[in-house]
DNA sequence: GAATTTTTGATGTACGTAAATCAAAAATGT
DNA sequence: ACATTTTTGATTTACGTACATCAAAAATTC
């Protein structure tokens, strides 16, 4: 049977109240006595029963999640995961509010951060946009003792406590390596379809991709980046124009969320399957395109992992506890047709 | 504030005792009354506080993990993860025992299962070997009401409740797809280095690999499978012989755990970097080889995920609760040099 | 409608910890 | 040695649920 506070009190020869004072760092204990208790804790191997402690404390963690609106499948999936976390909030002692903001709009995001601030939560998770007004709003939150975690897209150089997302430079490098090797000696240039250079994750992916292409596949031409604003209609138009202008196009790296338009353009022009396509985020659309062969590889970040990690980190930061970085790392999933999980998503 | 049993009692107009009878399916409640209570639960959105319930029950879950001994890095990593779970056992109400057995020895494994049986745990997790005496031992456990989960390597056709591991056929297919595409039009045969055909995971990987090579890369010759018994010395000897016999070898799929020997053979013969190598399991050795370019791709299963999943499933089965299959799926990680996590492992 | 059975209520204890109060004891200063 | 401050003990209540007991009320049987 694992030891309880009572056992420690007995072992140390002190009262329950003193053990409590030591455990909860309350004042009024002499150093000698504190030592006795700590030795008892050590020898008995006592570990506080966190669940009982939480029950007794009745502590809860009010959190705010700020997520971009719009029909971006990945972001909708992210929101589903936040709602799943809300469903678990009883067990996790969280009280989660979701704020929805227009995509790629720094001002609206800064205002949402202010709104979050007014609610005085223990922590805020935000899909960031790399802009000064956002950085400033984050700083105000932190100055007020509110923990801030960036989600999916980071805000480096800001006061945020943590970033819950993938290493996007590594993701871009991986995409470059795969496209380069899949194409092998095949001729033809490679294009990049992005969402917006306003968000850090897209910029980072591009940087990693370009670095690998330059360093390891220098012979292959890289076309100028296309920005599709993560909008299906716009992306389709741009990709169609691209295919017309470059009949010898060998590969496309889609680093944003415009996959529906990309796939539509490839399929209507009859180019599907002839061009090596690496895209991001596993959604019902991209999954179908991977199976049909229109997309060759999907790089994915697990939104559920990100949300759960963000919550763990926010709780820890709110309590002033350290975060085990290695445990909170979000991995880059690589899906080929052959290792696609047959479940949902 | 979330509702408690008291709130339900008030809402339903019954006593606390009656609510308790309904919640815990105790007898002595009229159908009408039960309905009243259930409606109150529904309208108030009550969810039982599992932590408080566990505290009150004082329930614990004695579990046994059976893991192969030897210097197999992956298995040692797995054991580390089990020990990490033991460190968490206070919070998770588990009492975990580890049994170590000689690798690839069905008889020893069957005996270990008997030993586990004698301890009368709530559940057993076992790295299985596909042999009749093992299947029989698993059946005896299940007949005695003890939950059984296979870990890493499955035992299909047995009475085990669940398999906590990756889809090894998919892993083999993925390896085949990657090798096939990476080699492109390059000439030369491909070899397979396995550990032992006694374990199901190796057989499945081979099956998936061969299927893809046959169906999509039919022109490429596949050499007969080499069995290295997951032993570094033996594997090195066999691979060195292979390289001597086939100077035009283009690729190697290492589906077992003999990577140390494989890498040593490639590096001493000066072939490192010239042959496309896909291997399994991220270990300090395979990681170094991936970085140096001796290995091109590592397929990995996260031992930590597998252990945690096995524990969740065993607890659920012990309580007769259903398991959400989608949530317990273990993914196949694909690591290139570019998306290698820079942490441990 | 009385006797019996079934259902419900009231109450208390327990799980392991947190937190508070008040009294008692020990240490400290002068 | 005294007053004063600090430290410690003893005790209680609470968190939300589980579980047991006994009495009271209601439903059922004949």
- The pLDDT value recorded for residue B343 is 61
Question: What residues contact B30, with CB distance under 8 A and at least 6 apart?
Answer: none
Query: What percentage of chain B reaches a pLDDT higher than 70?
Result: 99
- The pLDDT value recorded for residue A319 is 79
- The pLDDT value recorded for residue B327 is 82
CATH tag for A168-300 (out of 3.30.460.10, 3.40.50.2300, 1.10.287.130, 1.20.1250.20): 3.40.50.2300
Report the nucleotide nearest the CA of residue A12, measured to C1'.
D8
CA distances from A214 to A190, A219, B145, B290 (A): 12, 8, 61, 21
**Domain ranges (residues) in chain A:** 5-56, 59-165+303-329, 168-300
Chain A residues with beta carbon closer than 8 angstroms to that of B49: 55, 90-91
For the domain spanning B59-165+303-330, the CATH number is: 3.40.50.2300
Q: Which CATH architecture has domain B5-56?
A: Orthogonal Bundle (1.10)
Rounded to a whole number of angstroms, the distance from the CA of A209 to the nearest CA of chain B is 10
Of A55, A186, A326, the CB nearest to B52: A55
Chain A residues with beta carbon closer than 8 angstroms to that of B341: 329, 331
Cβ–Cβ gap A49/B90 under 8 Å: yes
Of A2, A170, A343, the CB nearest to B329: A343
- The pLDDT value recorded for residue A87 is 83
Cβ–Cβ gap A336/B174 under 8 Å: yes
Could you check whether B59-165+303-330 and B168-300 share the same CATH topology? yes
Give yes or no for a contact between B102 and B70, defined as CB atoms under 8 angstroms apart. Answer: yes
- The pLDDT value recorded for residue A343 is 61
Chain D nucleotides reached by a protein CB under 7 Å: 6-12, 14-21
For residues B175 and A180, what is the distance between their CA atoms, to the nearest angstrom?
18
User: To which residue do tokens 């040692």 refer?
Assistant: B76
How many interface pairs between A and B have CB atoms less than 8 angstroms apart?
A: 94
User: To which residue do tokens 């932590």 refer?
Assistant: B51
Tokens of B285: 């050795």
Cβ–Cβ gap B91/A344 under 8 Å: no
Distance B51 CA to C6 C1' (A): 33
Query: Which residues 29-48 in chain A have a CB closer than 7 A to strand C?
Result: 46, 48
- The pLDDT value recorded for residue A224 is 95
What integer is the mean pLDDT of B21-50?
Answer: 92
- Other C-beta atoms closer than 10 Å to the C-beta of A287 total 21
Distance A17 CA to C29 C1' (A): 27
The A61-68 sheet, strands edge to edge: A94-101, A61-68, A123-126, A147-151, A162-164
**Going along B172-280, which residue ranges are E strands?**
190-194, 226-227, 251-254, 276-280
For residues B107 and B198, what is the distance between their CA atoms, to the nearest angstrom?
12
A31-44 vs A16-23: helix axis angle to the nearest 10? Answer: 90
Measure CA B141 to chain center. 20
Nearest CA in chain B to A89: B2
Q: Which CATH architecture has domain A59-165+303-329?
A: 3-Layer(aba) Sandwich (3.40)
Determine if strand D comes within 7 Å of the CB of A24: no
Give the pLDDT confidence of B205-229 residue by residue, as tens digits.
999 999 999 999 999 999 999 999 9
Report the nucleotide nearest the CA of residue B2, measured to C1'.
D16
User: To which residue do tokens 């001597």 refer?
Assistant: B244
Question: What residues contact A267, with CB distance under 8 A and at least 6 apart?
Answer: A294
Nearest CA in chain B to A180: B182
A303-318 vs A73-87: helix axis angle to the nearest 10? Answer: 50
Rounded to a whole number of angstroms, the distance from the CA of A294 to the nearest CA of chain B is 16
Nearest CA in chain B to A208: B338
Consecutive 10-residue averages of pLDDT for chain A (345 residues): 91 94 92 93 92 89 95 93 88 90 96 96 96 97 95 95 97 98 95 94 97 96 94 95 97 94 96 96 95 97 95 89 85 95 64
Cβ–Cβ gap A339/B174 under 8 Å: yes
Q: Minimal CA–CA distance to A189: which of A251, A278, A275?
A: A251
Distance A208 CA to C24 C1' (A): 70
């Amino acid at each position: 049977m694992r030891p309880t506070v009572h056992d420690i009190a007995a072992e140390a020869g002190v009262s329950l109240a003193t053990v409590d004072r030591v455990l909860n760092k309350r004042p009024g204990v002499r150093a000698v006595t504190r030592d006795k208790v700590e030795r008892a804790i050590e020898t008995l191997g006592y570990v506080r029963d966190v669940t009982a402690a939480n029950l007794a404390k009745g502590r809860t963690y009010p959190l705010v999640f700020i997520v971009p609106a719009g029909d971006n499948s990945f972001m909708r999936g992210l929101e589903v995961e936040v709602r799943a976390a809300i469903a678990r909030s009883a067990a996790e002692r969280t009280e989660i509010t979701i704020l929805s903001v227009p995509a790629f709009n720094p001002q609206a995001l800064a205002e949402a951060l202010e709104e979050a601030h007014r609610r005085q939560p223990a922590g805020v998770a935000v899909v960031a946009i790399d802009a000064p007004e956002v950085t400033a709003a984050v700083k105000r939150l932190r100055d007020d003792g509110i923990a801030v975690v960036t989600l999916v897209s980071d805000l480096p150089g800001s006061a945020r406590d943590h970033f819950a997302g993938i290493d996007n430079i590594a993701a871009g490098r991986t995409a470059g390596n795969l496209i380069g090797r899949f194409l092998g000696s095949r001729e033809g240039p490679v294009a990049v379809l992005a969402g917006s250079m306003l968000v850090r994750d897209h910029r980072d992916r591009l940087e990693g991709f370009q670095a690998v292409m330059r360093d390891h596949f220098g012979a292959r031409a890289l076309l100028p980046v296309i920005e599709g604003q993560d909008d299906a209609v716009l992306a389709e138009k741009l990709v169609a124009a691209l295919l017309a202008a470059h009949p010898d196009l060998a590969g496309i790296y889609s680093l944003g969320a415009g996959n529906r338009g990309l796939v539509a353009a490839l399929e209507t022009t009859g180019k599907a399957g002839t061009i090596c396509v690496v895209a991001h985020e596993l959604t019902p659309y991209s999954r179908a395109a991977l199976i049909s062969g229109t997309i060759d590889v999907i790089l994915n970040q697990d939104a559920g992992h990100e949300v759960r990690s963000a919550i763990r980190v926010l709780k820890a930061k709110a309590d002033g506890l350290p975060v085990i970085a290695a445990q909170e790392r979000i991995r880059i999933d690589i899906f080929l047709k052959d290792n696609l999980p047959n479940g949902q998503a």
